[in-house]
Amino acid sequence: MASLFWGASPFDELADKATSELLPVGGSDIALNLEICDHIRSKSVTPLAAMRSIKRRVDHKNPNVQLLALELADTCTKNGGDTFLAQVASREFLDDLVSIAKQPNVNRDVKQKILRLVQSWARGMEGNSELKYVGETYKNLKSSGFDFPPESPRAGTATLFQTATAPTWTDSDRCMRCREPFTMTFRKHHCRNCGQTFCQSCSSYTARLDHFGINQEVRVCKDCHDKLTRKTGEATKKDGKKDGVGSKEWIKRERERADKDLERAIALSLAEAKSMGHAVDEGPVGARPAVLSKGYPPATVAPAANAEEDDPDLAAAIRASLEEYQAMNVPSAPSPMPERPSATESYFPQPPPPLPNYDLTDPETLTILDFSEAVENGANPRSIDELRDRADRLRPRLVRSLDDTERKEREYMFPFLRESEADCMRRNADRYAWKAG
């Protein structure tokens, strides 16, 4: 419907040119067909739109156009990548080919071409569960009595359908290189070579991706740019030093952020303790009352003196209790007071529960350290490139580990610290109140 108002798309024009009625029989333009494949691989056109554009030419009334369109479909199937393979193996495309082959007045060459392509595709896509409809279509046609040509041992091998395509973009709330979080003003970008998420400064490079069929300069990240351009070892060493400075700044920012979170947790704990009505001592450590020695009663001399002045009978009862306690007290084995919290329990809360370990394995850590040492020492550029390739494969796992660690700190560690500090404050307040009483 959109073509009625805006005209044919650029890809439709290329498909019409590659399957023009003016081309001679069997005279398909291989260069133009491969250019169309590059458009599909680079994802400048969606695989669904590309399939429907070719299907439109397959449904043409001219047999020559149909043959050229089938040849174009076969070329794109072998050079367009997995995403286009899924569209060719769809019911929309295959059922259309079957309906053409079953027409009573279909051209014999067109029918044989369709049967040959279905046979070749079924053999090449055999074993792939996502493309199983091709094999089902081939079996149905064979059981219906269609005469297929003899199978060629070289036609339809699985390697013919393996083509490198532009990666699918990932999503992240942080830059996967500098680890800065994205905001409304600090936007995210994607590298066209690796598909990962970066900020503007970490992906402000451009390069041609001929291996993906992208013939113009597109956005790539710094690591992919260095890998594609193959810079000298001196430039790599210089950039490695800059990266070291950037990583130190990031570590400093993370430490400052952790300190602020800890201060906020302490403030929340103090506010919670005050809200419960406890007299929490916020002064210096030296100004706090001394911790009670184990096995001795609290000092209640002043309250006892006041009680003696008020009630002589109460004073006599207190003196009798003290004499009985001194008689029962054994200095060599002082009796503990389990009903009162000890100083160790008050100042040292129980440790948090152990968390799952998401650290890199020793060989993976060694790979990253070898790459870092090679960059700092200015090693052979070829060895640096090899180590970079090995370390770059660990980037997604390292990023996931960092994200999971930060999430666990937010969800488990900081609430546990706030709870532990609030409990510590409550115990100290109870002990001070008990001592004063």
Can you give the pLDDT at residue 358? Answer: 60
Stretch 35-58: mean pLDDT: 88
Could you give the domains of the chain?
9-161 (1.25.40.90), 166-229 (3.30.40.10), 237-292+340-437 (no CATH), 294-338 (no CATH)
Q: What pLDDT shows up at residue 78?
A: 83
Nearest residue to 84 via CA among 139, 29, 121:
121
How far lies 176's CA from each of 27, 171, 172, 173, 394, in Å?
Answer: 49, 10, 8, 9, 12
Predicted confidence band at 233 (pLDDT cuts at 50, 70, 90)? very low
Q: Mapping DSSP to helix (H, G, I), strand (E, B) and coil, where does residue 285 land? A: helix
At residue 349, does pLDDT exceed 70?
no
Low-confidence winner among 129-133, 273-277, 426-430 (lowest mean pLDDT): 273-277
Range with the lowest mean pLDDT among 105-109, 332-336, 389-393? Answer: 332-336
pTM for this one?
0.46
Arithmetic mean of pLDDT, 395-420: 71
Give pLDDT, residue 64: 92
How far apart CA 369 and CA 375 sit, in angstroms, is 10
Spatial CA neighbour of 89 closest among 127, 52, 59, 122:
122
- DSSP conformation letters of 358-370: -PPPHHHHHHHHH
The answer for residues whose C-beta is within 8 angstroms of residue 246's C-beta and 6 or more apart is 178
Beta strand ranges found along 324-376 (DSSP E) = none
pLDDT tier at 258 (50, 70, 90 boundaries)? confident
Which one, of 330, 322, 349, lies nearest residue 422 by Cα? Answer: 349
Residue 56 has pLDDT above 90, yes or no: yes
pLDDT by residue (tens digit) across 261-303?
A: 777 777 766 666 666 554 444 444 444 444 444 444 444 444 4
Q: pLDDT, tens digit, for every residue of 351-367?
A: 555 555 566 777 777 87
pLDDT of residue 77: 86
Strand partners of residue 198: 189
